[in-house]
Structure 1
């Protein structure tokens, strides 16, 4: 028998055509022992009716929401509002067929499964659902409210809304974008759209909100937070690719609108685009190239005349606005009908009118100040013109402040972009720099918000936010040293946080999340180093932020010595453990690190001991998996990776059996760009210049790519078999080798074949440039093609196409060639060896033996060391060039097929599983 001690069921209906049915249903359920909340019976007089409904739906005792579905209920805004709130609160929604429903095929998708209580089996199932607890997870509603002065922009709003809904008002799974310059109102439009009732009904599984900004440092933490919102579980993920995959799985088939606000870089947006076939993505951005090619774009530029006037006149006396309409229109035009500038000048006008100045005179004063600041007509397409317009427009509001108030406003420049900054943190800073108490801090913030110099001020949540355009203005006014001084003042003001249990949780969270950033900006490397090896700090940060990725991000940004790198790599290994239980931090450190690993670790490990809650089983020596030499692993390819090319200090390009090239960010592990077009295995890549790369494939073609956009610039056809080797001759020419036994010289500008070099009796496997006139080629031995044995090195004259010299002695493929210096060259082979050759005489100088399988590739570390990668033996080996001695060996769990050196201490290796590893050569 159900528990009837408190209402577990909320009954919703329309009185127009569902009242009698709801009364009978209520009687029936009460007779079965259920306790219901029903507005007609339960609402009390004297209180706002909606607040009572809200209280009921937010009550922990109410678990089920029963909706009597009738034509009037489907049209009722109140009923729809109730069902949205019920889903957001995690109530089990059970729609019941009421009177008047004829064509069930026209019912909206958001309604879900409809129970017909006239069918006994459905009624039985309905009662069983009500007997149990709610199985419904909370539907996320993350989008912020539009600002109080929001002005409707029907042209952009309705155009995008129509794209996001089908003819029945249901969700459409697309990627769409609001695109325009900063301050044009993209974010405000996205907020308004997310709170539109039709959109909320269509995307009944929730609305997610993500803020990126120029260079998000905590992308992995942002994704982890979303996954937790969707699943209720904190993930411990190590890579962006893993997090992106997990997010796609968490989205599942749900009808969700995900808004990604302020995307600047394609690599930052990419993780949010995977999976979730029924998820719609709405992106706001200033930069078109970050968007997928198939994204629907809605430009957001200057407001229309009427819209701009409405925003400029917001909260001003209506009678005076009408009298000053012409002057306001002229002022609006002068401001380029740009939302940000209109808001700032509106703040100036409200301030003057609030001091009893007539509006016409306030407009004249605004124009005079803009004249004095030098704001003339500006080109909104020019970034420089826009920046100057912002600076000059903000200047008229700053004139209304005292010098002390302007100084305090400028201090806000040190706070991070797209962050809700606790008022308590600002109060501490301004107490330090100007002696302001908390009341005076709030008064100044209210003044700044009134002048529209703050994007948001929430006195209930006690947070504020700066518009990023205003923040950039403030930072531009301060030199680097001035910013560093302000960061030091903030650090001094925050020095006592973390020492009292009565601290505001928001202040505490901000302190732990952003302290490393403020230390770095202040130039206090010594304090930052101490922080990174302080286990008490790390534990407290885990507890304050509830997300290990914020801690791991500190090490990825700021670790710079071996002890810090080992600590950061250990945190990567144990992220999943810490996500479930932050108190495991000291135990895990003691189980994975030892003082012998680095002398700086000894005091840190000693500090771990007191943090362990007793009684506990404490390891006396490390016995768990240590961090090892591998620094990072990037995943995304769906087939083995045969090659990797370093583009610059931040990026590498890989080619794979999945027919794609992929550009990777070495610092974050993000996949920056994907190059698609080849229909066969990508065998070889060579960089032509800083903007172009050339690839060869098993589809017999070469393709020239634009690195910046990912577009294919040119297709080279002519080979009759796999393209297996490539060589850049100069910025206009490249040489290719193929399984068709030929070498071909190509004109990169026209795509024409300039020369063909023939002589090899098997496929060409490797190419090496000797000088501008000579190249060396290596060949293989195809056992499947009788008579194709070659296994030679051949020196060619590029100008004539003639063979100059032949080097013989191999019993297997020549797989790679490396120029050591002017006189020496190194080759590696299928016969498991490396061989050093004299280029002048053709003599073999030294042989390096030890690999137990094919040697795939060779890279030079410095003048004395080279590194080779093996195949079947799953090792990388570091060799001494002068002696032939093996110096170091790296083991993997798959065959390494491609290697690239980052610097003398770090290297990259791709394995047959498509994973990218970053190794520490010292480690």
Structure 2
């Protein structure tokens, strides 16, 4: 009995799926489809994973709905990842096939009149051995990369029901939404961010968004949407040159997101203006945001998912974990503590960590919670957060005076900022701490759930905790605290570019903010506009110009109308600095970018390239960097060659080139690079974007040859596409040239169709009536035949060329091919047929160089003949050029006789 997993979109694939299910059951097979097999209350993710794990074959029903469905995409990629046989079935004739299934042949079930015969074929397909099955390829699935998604927190508890509900809402396909917004709503400290992060790490969700899951920390202090768009662009590998203004950035996202499968997660949204610009019609993308405000949800038209407080059992479980106890060992007071904490996860974590420290911890915690000054707390915080703030007040009061002082230091950091331990160590050294003291202090805060460990010796803080300590410090004292941090980094008052104790780069990203908050605005203005030393220091530290541009934007945003005369001058200076930056970027040539790569500064090179606004120049810059990185890795034999993301970024730049010819040329260049790197599926997808049939046919031919050489089984399909494309070309010359290129590629791959394709190319060229075009077409054919090693056919084709220049060109290429193959005498004889002294000298030069490289004794004689031929050229310039090229070839070959 064959176990069969059926993947389909409910909106338009259910009927065929149900019919297949019933017929497979009737044939004694064991099919599985979600509406038939998931029990009420079952876990969507777990049940689907189990069904895929145990299936023998997966049927992927391809409909218009399945192409847009995250569930279907997740199911398909999970099947590939687990090595399952997949048979795609077309529900609609015009249904798009996802990239990861391109290499699989499919059965067309779109014509229901043929269902019975197709079903019989399907049964036969499933019974075949894997080696004979119609799906002959196991494509490598593409899993979502996680960008800035926070790690799993300490002592978290699984909230399976909430996660299931959220997952169904975000990636369910029972909707026609093309702008899909989901809002995770609940009060502060209730666990929204943790639940959102759990969703991002869910295997089904990751499979549903192969282009990435991008986490953007927003917060109440969000500084406009520009930093958010920059984070999205960076995650997707899109050049920042498209994101110079809000309008340009949003326009760019409207262009690229409809072609992506991305989940955008905006954490802690307070203002609807932070979400509205991202309401983008992109059928395969989804947007999730966390918020406390129902008003924001209603105003942006999002689907809300409520996050409730923990159940009594969950609350006790979380308390026990933070206290380091088992649930069974908790005293009666712990139940009352859970009630006093409102069963809020953040409050439970802080109080549980405090209570677990000593024997009387629970009674002590309960007493403090019940006796906290609630009226005082309510003066500073809204009523909904009073319970949480009471727990926070109790937890902070439980710290020693020294611990509390250091905890209040966190008031200077921005919301959603990741804080390196080294930054705190530098600051706290002024308070007599060494690095071990700093580690101990941070460990105390983390274990008390007053701080979160973000990994890699970096830390984050919940925004409510930040609100609390800022209220404790007070607005008047905050500038002094910022000044204290700055002084710790720069005790001698040096110019900031000269400060070199920022190992983790915190200062390079945040100095402007701290200067602003310390009210050292003159210093900030001088830093950004005085000279370029700070810019150069940031470039060296971050390998990107983005940080400096962000600093300029931050400084500009501080100016508000009405402005004084001096403020107008300063603002104009900042705008001028931004203009200078863009001019500086444009002054970097491709040669400069190559030099930076060879100096080991490829990230800096990328920073400059990505700020190019013209798509053609951007593409050229990215490909220059890719080529230089590849050459550097090959020459040094160390380090990894450039990866796929850089080529993906180049493809996006190529897609933006307006001129069709230039765009096709760029895409063809990109296909060659992708094929050389073994990225065959991406190369074929890129080739499909080429609009000109001649260019696309040539590119597909080259790709197929590369696939065949690598032993990739999709070469056959690519050759077929190249042939179909060439056959559509109406211009005789272009079709003959495309067929010649295809035949050469087929011959190189040992393909049986090469002879027939050469014949078609010959017939097509012969039918061209215009002499010049026919001659050039035959020259292309002769060159292709020579490239394929068909030397006699190439010579015969060249003899049919009536235009001297074209015939000489064909014979010269034949000489080069014969020489490369070691057929030196044949090459010499072919060269003698060239009537033009210029072309014959060039052909003899190539032959002599090949002979010298092979150590052949006749090289000297051939060089002599080439020299005599070159001297007979009557035009002075041509003769001088031919002799220079000959001298260079002789020097390279080590033949210095005149």
Normalising by structure 1, report the TM-score: 0.47
Richer in helix (by share): 2
